[in-house]
């Protein structure tokens, strides 16, 4: 996943090079952008925030997340946009 912090609004921008691209309306400081990302994705996937966690990329724009089972259909539909 590629994340762009400091955007005017939080939104999924599509898939590029096999990575989901997300703009986050939060500053990349003190974990604010990561928290906003997880909150946004939890709402998008319809799961509790506690069901998502960062595997890698806490201080990077490139991130890997641990997603609960059942998110595959949502990801597939996002890739087809």
Residue 6 has pLDDT above 90, yes or no: yes
Whole-model pTM: value is 0.87
Of 76 and 53, more confident: 53
Hey, which CATH number is domain 2-57, 3.40.50.12780, 3.20.20.70, 3.30.1200.10, 3.10.129.10? 3.30.1200.10
| Domain assignments of the chain as residue spans, ordered by start | 2-57
Asked if 62 and 1 touch (Cβ cutoff 8 Å), the reply is yes
Selection from 69, 68, 54 nearest residue 24 by Cα = 54
Selection from 25, 15, 17, 34 nearest residue 75 by Cα = 15
Give the Cα separation of 27 and 24 in Å (integer).
Answer: 8
Please write the tens of the pLDDT for every residue from 7-54: 999 999 988 888 889 999 999 999 999 999 999 999 988 899 999 999
């Amino acid at each position: 996943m590629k994340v762009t912090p400091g955007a005017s609004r939080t939104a999924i921008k599509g898939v590029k090079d096999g990575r989901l691209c997300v703009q986050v309306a939060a500053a990349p400081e003190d974990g604010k952008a990561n928290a906003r990302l997880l909150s946004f994705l939890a709402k998008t996937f319809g799961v509790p925030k506690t069901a998502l966690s960062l595997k890698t990329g806490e201080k990077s724009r490139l991130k890997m997340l641990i997603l609960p089972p059942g998110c595959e259909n949502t990801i597939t539909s996002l890739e087809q946009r």
